[in-house]
Structure 1
Amino acid sequence: MKKRKKNHAERARQKQQRRKEARKRKGKGTTTMTQDSNAARIRGYIEKKAYADAVNAFADMAAAGSAPEECFGDIARAYFESGDTARAADWVTTTLTRDPANVDVRILLGRICLKEKRTQDAFKVYENLLASHGNALSDAQRAEIDRYAGLEARLSPAEVRENYPHLAAFFGLVSAPVGVPAPSAVKKPAVPAPKGVAVPPTKDVAVPASKSVAVPSEQALAGSAAQTAAKILGENIRPRDKVCTLNAFAGAAYVEGDYESAQILLTESLRLDPGCDETIKNMAVLLHDMGDNDRAIRMASEMKHTDFLLLRLLKA
């Protein structure tokens, strides 16, 4: 009788243990599903550029204990794009502590350094990134580095060549080391020309002068500046005409007050022809109007033919 009671008690204990483990497994599954859903929600906000919504939603998730760790880098970007570089830097540190190989967050770290005018620190970040992940970078990641660090690198070519060999190769300032293709090596798809870009002539038609490149209309500016630049660079026209067209589009963006787009277009023009005085002058004026007078003066000093009127404007 005692043995029967003992066996019954043991079976009851085992049954209770199995139920407990089943509830635990179910709870883990629910938590995983919740975190996946939360991650998708955060990234949805980031894609829509609703950075404040992303930060607020993440704060609510953290309070509930369901904040997805894989979104730490997204929150760093959200803070950065919202103008809070201090919190962005904190989240970058947190993310890289958990995932040191996170390329997107390391690129963001370089952008934070540039934003804080710590150019050398930014160069070090990108140099290390290219040295360790040069072959693994996507076209979008390469374009982001070129967009934000390209101008600074081209303003100090000798220094970059001497101290940052991978970065110098990336920007085409020296021949590329093995495994580090320059930005120009990335194939760009052939796309139709935007309005205002001259169609390449046939053999029987005279090549139009660069002055004939028309200033683009507002409709021609539809889409991002990067896409517009890619279309222009993909056209089968003379490099000089590409430079003139990029400057024309940049001028249209400048008139509209879209300084960021103008800077993107002028940066592409400088990448195509680093010694073009026209582009250098336009970039110097743009940087001056953006409040970055130090870089504006440095840019103006790169001109082959010194322009005292420009220097007077920049010194004012």
Structure 2
Amino acid sequence: MKQCQTQERELEQAFDQEKYADVLNILAELITANDVKPDFLYKGAYSYFMLGDYERAAQWVNNTLNFDPQNVEARILLARLCFIQNRQEDGLSIYDFLAANYQNSMTKEQKEQITDSSAYYVRREGDKLRQKYPHLAEFLQLKENAAEKTEPARTADTGSSALSALQRLKAKLEEVQAKNNKQAESETHVDGIPKQEETVTDKLADVSIEQQIVNIQNRTCSLREKVQILNKFAAAAYMAADYAGAMSYLQAALQLDDGDSQTIRNMAMAQAAFGEADKAQAIAAKLPEVDFVLLYLLKEQGR
């Protein structure tokens, strides 16, 4: 028993530190010692999931639910496995079941996981959600109503704060560009041969943009998280004045969710910086609501 207690602590520590291979090794020893608990089985399922072995992850989810049919975390993980395997309807059915039976007992984090990974389907297939998954639709609608009630309180200062942030970004870009120009003029060898320049994007990545996009698309996370990651990479490329690279990341994000407002705004700014004023205006027109701050910035960019 003492040995098992020690291994249980080691398993918890390895899981917290995201050492998933170690989790599986310790778990095998505990099972051999007949120390089987639903929480340990779930940690095994999640570890296989994070290591990319989705078949074993599904098997261990089933093992978890056999011991603990009420395990909400295991069902959420099963839904994520369905989404990864393009079984969207199965995943949404699981969420619908959870919304119908466990909404009051779910933690805040669990509710956020369901909301985040369902956001794409809310925008793209809202009518279908309401018809086929009424409990999930009601659960998500409650979230949307809560968000709408708090939105007006922030509307008053949105334009000024956004403009201020973009002005700071513009100043930062000018500062970086001036510094790069100064270094380009001064950095030469004693024999007069210029040093080979290394761009910011070279420092940021050891692989091509195309490969980075593929890596992000293959991550084990929700579509919303992938869109957010692609936007962050696009921001890094934009800061390095690599507008073509920024547009590549943003185009990949739009392929995942062509209705994401933040991606549309970022694409419009990247198009404008690239000198494609007409395309920038066209992409900005796809926003569900008119954004005067964005239109002002596009107008200034085109001067």
TM-score by length of 1: 0.51
- 2: distance between equivalents of 1:94 and 1:88? 10
- 2: distance between equivalents of 1:249 and 1:98? 36
Question: For residue 113 of structure 2, what is the aligned residue in structure 1?
Answer: 144
Structure whose alpha-carbon radius of gyration is higher: 1
Give 3-state SS (helix, strand or coil) of 1:171's partner. Answer: helix
Question: For residue 126 of structure 2, what is the aligned residue in structure 1?
Answer: 157
Post-superposition offset of 1:211: 4.4
- 2: distance between equivalents of 1:40 and 1:213? 46
Match of 1:254 among 218, 234, 239: 234
Q: Which runs of 5+ in 2 are unaligned?
A: 148-153, 173-226, 238-248, 268-282, 289-303
Q: Aligned partner of 2:73: which letter? A: D
Report the structure, 1 or 2, having the larger helix content. Answer: 2
Match of 2:102 among 122, 133, 136: 133
Q: Which has the higher contact order (CA 8 A, sep 6+)?
A: 2
Match of 1:90 among 59, 62, 66: 59
- 2: distance between equivalents of 1:128 and 1:117? 19
**Aligned pairs (5 A) from 1:101-140:** 101-140=70-109
Post-superposition offset of 1:251: 3.4
Question: What do residues 57-83 of structure 1 show as CA deviations (whole Å, max 9, x unaligned)?
Answer: 212333444454530011100100111
Q: Aligned partner of 1:83: which letter? A: G
Give 3-state SS (helix, strand or coil) of 2:160's partner. Answer: coil
**Pair 1:56 & 2:25 matched:** yes
Question: What do residues 143-196 of structure 1 show as CA deviations (whole Å, max 9, x unaligned)?
Answer: 111222221332211100111112112222xxxxxxxx427749xxxxxxxxxx
Q: Aligned partner of 2:59: which letter? A: D
Question: What do residues 99-141 of structure 1 show as CA deviations (whole Å, max 9, x unaligned)?
Answer: 1100111111111111111000000000001100111111111
Instruction: Provide closer, same or farther for how the CA distance between residues 251 and 304 of structure 1 changes in structure 2, counting only shifts above 3 A.
Output: closer
Match of 1:81 among 40, 50, 64: 50
TM-score by length of 2: 0.53
Identity of aligned residues (%): 27
Question: What do residues 34-88 of structure 1 show as CA deviations (whole Å, max 9, x unaligned)?
Answer: 4443333222211111111111221233344445453001110010011111000
**Pair 1:182 & 2:133 matched:** no
Q: Aligned partner of 2:232: which letter? A: A
- 2: distance between equivalents of 1:97 and 1:248? 36
Give 3-state SS (helix, strand or coil) of 2:80's partner. Answer: helix
**Pair 1:213 & 2:181 matched:** no
Q: Aligned partner of 1:74: which letter? A: K
Superposition RMSD in Å: 4.1
Post-superposition offset of 1:97: 1.0
Q: Answer with 130-139 or 59-68: which moved more.
A: 59-68
Q: Aligned partner of 2:160: which letter? A: P
- 2: distance between equivalents of 1:171 and 1:280? 23
Q: Which runs of 5+ in 1 are unaligned?
A: 1-30, 173-180, 187-197, 218-246, 284-299, 306-316
The number of equivalent residue pairs is 194
- 1: distance between equivalents of 2:95 and 2:137? 11
- 1: distance between equivalents of 2:229 and 2:50? 25
Q: Aligned partner of 1:251: which letter? A: N
Instruction: Provide closer, same or farther for how the CA distance between residues 73 and 256 of structure 1 changes in structure 2, counting only shifts above 3 A.
Output: farther
